[in-house]
Amino acid sequence: MSVVDISRWQFGITTVYHFILVPLTIGLAPLIAVMQTVWHRTGNEQWLRATKFFGKIFLINFALGVATGIVQEFQFGMNWSEYSRYVADVFGAPLALEALMAFFLESTFIGLWMFGWGRLPRRVHLACIWLVAIGVNASAYFIVAANSWMQHPVGVEWDPERGRPAMNNFIAVITNNTTLVAFPHVIMGAFLTASTVVAIVGLWWMARNTYRASKIEEAAKLGDESIIPDTSSPSQVGASPAQLRHDNATLWRPVSIFALWVVIGSGLGLFVTGDMQAQIMFKQQPMKMAAAESLCETETGASFSVLSVGRQNNCDNIEHIITIPNMLSFLADHNFNSTVQGVNELQKQYEEALNMPGQNFAPNLFVTYWSFRAMITWALGSVVVAFGGLWFLRKKRSDVPRWFGRLVLWMLPTPFLANASGWIFTEMGRQPWVVVPNWADADGDPLRIHMLVQDGVSNHTSPMVWTTLIGFTLLYGALGVVWFYLERRYVIEGPSDKDAAAPDVGSDDDESAELSFAY
Amino acid sequence: MSLENFWFLVIAVLFTMYFVLEGFDFGVGMLMSFLGRHSEPDGDKRRRVLLNTIGPVWDGNEVWLLTGGGALFAAFGGWYATMFSAFYLPLFLILIGLIVRVVAIEWRGKINDVRWRRWCDVGIGLGSWIPAILWGVAFANVVRGLPIDADHQYTGGFFNLLNPYALLGGATTLLAFLTHGAVFVALKTSGQMRDDAQTFAARLAIPTAVVAAAFLIWTQLAYGEAWTWAIVVIAAVAAVGMVVATAARREGWAFVATCIAIAGTIAMLFGSLFPDVLPSTTDAAYDLTVANTSSSHYTLVIMTWAAAIMTPVVIAYQGYSYWIFRKRLSVDQIPPSIGLPLQSTRK
Reply yes or no on whether the pLDDT at A386 is more than 60. Answer: yes
In angstroms, the separation between the Cα of residue B217 and the nearest Cα of chain A is: 31
Nearest by CB: A99 against B70, B89, B102 = B70
Cβ atoms of A458 and A81 within 8 Å: the answer is yes
What is the model's pLDDT at position B162?
A: 85
- Are the Cβ atoms of A91 and B107 closer than 8 angstroms? no
pLDDT of residue A298: 85
Q: What's the half-sphere exposure (Cβ side, CA atoms, 13 Å) at A441?
A: 18
Alpha-carbon distance values, A51 to A189, A206, A502 (Å): 22, 17, 11
A81, A116, A519: residue with CB nearest B48: A519
Q: Give the H/E segment covering residue A452.
A: strand A451-452
Which chain B residues contact residue A516 at CB under 8 A?
335
Q: What is the pLDDT of residue A508?
A: 55
- The mean pLDDT value for A114-141 works out to 94
User: Nearest-CA residue of chain B relative to A456?
Assistant: B81
Q: pLDDT tens across A400-444, in order? A: 999 999 999 999 999 999 999 999 999 999 989 999 988 777 555
Residues of B in contact with A68 (CB under 8 A): 99
Residue A159: its chain B contacts at CB < 8 A?
296
Q: Which residue has the higher pLDDT, B222 or A301?
A: B222
For residue A156, what are the β-bridge partners? A167
How do residues B86-103 score in pLDDT, each as one tens digit?
999 999 999 999 999 999
Helices (H), A117-176: 122-151, 170-174
Interface contact B335-A159, CB threshold 8 A: no
Q: Which chain B residues have a beta carbon less than 8 Å from that of A168?
A: 298
Whole-number mean pLDDT of chain A? 90
Q: Which of B277, B299, B338 to mutate to test the interface with A (most CBs of A within 10 A)?
A: B299
pLDDT at A506: 54
A98: pLDDT confidence band, cut at 50, 70 and 90?
Answer: very high
Q: Rounded mean pLDDT of A157-165?
A: 86
| Cβ–Cβ below 8 Å for A232 and B299 | no
Residue A503 has pLDDT above 80, yes or no: no
- Between A81, A489, A515, which is nearest B82 by CB? A81
pLDDT of residue B145 exceeding 70, the answer is yes
Structure confidence by residue, pLDDT tens digits, B209-231: 999 999 999 999 999 999 999 99
- The 10s digit of each residue's pLDDT in A166-188 is 998 899 999 999 999 999 999 99
**Binary contact (B81, A108; C-beta < 8 A):** no
Q: In DSSP terms, which residues pair with A452 in a beta bridge?
A: A433
* ipTM of the complex model: 0.93
Indicate yes or no: CB of A70 within 8 angstroms of CB of B295.
no
- Nearest-Cα residue of chain B relative to residue A169: B298
Please, what is the end-to-end C-alpha distance for chain A in angstroms?
Answer: 44
State the residue range of the domain holding B190: 4-328
| CA-based nearest distance A368→chain B, Å | 31
SS3 B294: coil
pLDDT of A60 higher than 90 = yes
CA distance A358 to B166: 48
Indicate yes or no: CB of A68 within 8 angstroms of CB of B99. Answer: yes
Between A and B, how many residue pairs show a Cβ–Cβ distance under 8 A? 256
Across the interface, of A95, A458, A493, the residue whose CB is closest to B74 is A95
Which residues does chain B have within 8 Å of residue A488's beta carbon, measured at their own beta carbons? none
Q: Does A67 sit within 8 Å of B98, measured CB to CB?
A: yes
What are the beta bridge partners of residue A340? A299
Coil vs helix vs strand at A432? coil
Query: Which member of B76, B108, B340 has the closest CB to residue A489?
Result: B340
Q: Contact B77/A108, CB-based, under 8 Å?
A: no
What does the alpha-carbon distance between residue B243 and residue B259 come to, in Å, rounded to a whole number? 13
Q: How many CB atoms lie within 10 A of CB A253?
A: 21
Give the pLDDT confidence score for residue B266 in this predicted structure. 95
Task: Determine the residue of chain B that is closest to A96 in CA distance.
Answer: B70
What burial class does residue B19 get, using C-beta atoms within 10 Å of its C-beta: 0-12 exposed, 13-18 middle, 19+ buried? buried
State percent of chain A over pLDDT 70: 96
- The pLDDT value recorded for residue A129 is 97
CA distance B49 to B47: 5
Amino acid identity for residue A189 in this structure? G
Each residue of B224-283: pLDDT tens digit? 999 999 999 999 999 999 999 999 999 999 999 999 999 999 999 999 998 899 999 888
Closest CB to A111: pick one of B56, B83, B153: B56
Q: Which has more pLDDT, A442 or A74?
A: A74
Q: Is A117 helix (H, G, I), strand (E, B) or coil?
A: coil
In this complex, the residue of B60, B83, B84 whose CB is nearest that of residue A108 is: B60
| B153 contacts A464? CB cut-off 8 A | no
Using the beta-carbon criterion (under 8 Å), do B71 and A96 form an inter-chain contact? Answer: yes
Q: How far is B159 from B179, CA to CA, in rounded Å?
A: 28
pLDDT of residue A317: 73
Q: How many CB atoms lie within 10 A of CB B296?
A: 22
CATH number of the domain that residue B171 is part of: 1.20.1630.10
Q: How far apart are alpha carbons A315 and A360 in whole angstroms?
A: 12
Round to whole Å and give the CA distance between A53 and A40.
16
Catalogue the long-range contacts made by A241-247 (C-beta closer than 8 Å, 24 or more residues apart).
A241/A212, A241/A213, A241/A214, A241/A216, A241/A217, A244/A209, A244/A210, A244/A212, A244/A213, A244/A216, A245/A209, A245/A210, A245/A213, A245/A398, A245/A399, A247/A209
The pLDDT of residue B338: 86
8 Å CB contact between A105 and A134: yes
Using a CB-CB cut-off of 8 Å, the residues of chain B touching A519 are 48, 51-52, 55, 105-106, 108-109
User: Does residue B336 form part of some domain?
Assistant: no
Residue of A nearest to B102 (CA): A67
pLDDT for the residue numbered A509: 56
CB contact under 8 Å between A232 and B295, yes or no, is no
| B345 found inside a domain | no
Whether the per-residue pLDDT at A192 is higher than 90: the answer is: yes
What b-and-e string marks burial along A178-215, b requiring 16 or more CB atoms within 10 Å of the CB?
bbbbbbbbbbbbbbbbbbbbbbbbbbbbbbbbbbbbee
- Whats the size of chain B, residue-wise? 347
A396 Rama sector, left if φ>0, alpha if ψ -120 to 50, beta otherwise: left
Quick one: closest CA in B to A498, which residue? B338
**Nearest residue on chain A to B308, alpha-carbon basis:** A100
Residue A196 is predicted with a pLDDT of 96
pLDDT of residue B26: 97
User: Distance, in angstroms, between A105 CA and closest chain B CA?
Assistant: 8
| pLDDT computed for residue B345 by the predictor | 61
pLDDT in tens, B42-69: 888 899 999 999 999 999 999 999 999 9
Sign of CA dihedral A80, A81, A86, A90: positive
pLDDT for the residue numbered A315: 76
Pick from A96, A99, A515: which is nearest to B333 by CB?
A: A515
Question: Do residue B324 and residue A516 have CB atoms under 8 angstroms apart?
Answer: no
Task: Report chain A's C-alpha Rg in angstroms.
Answer: 26
A234 or B173: which leads in pLDDT: B173
Best mean pLDDT range from A158-162, B270-274, B331-335: B270-274
Cross-chain residue pair B81–A88, CB shorter than 8 Å:
yes
Looking at the predicted structure, is the pLDDT value of residue A451 above 60?
Answer: yes
- Cα–Cα–Cα angle for A118, A121, A125, nearest 5°? 80
* Domains in chain B, number: 1
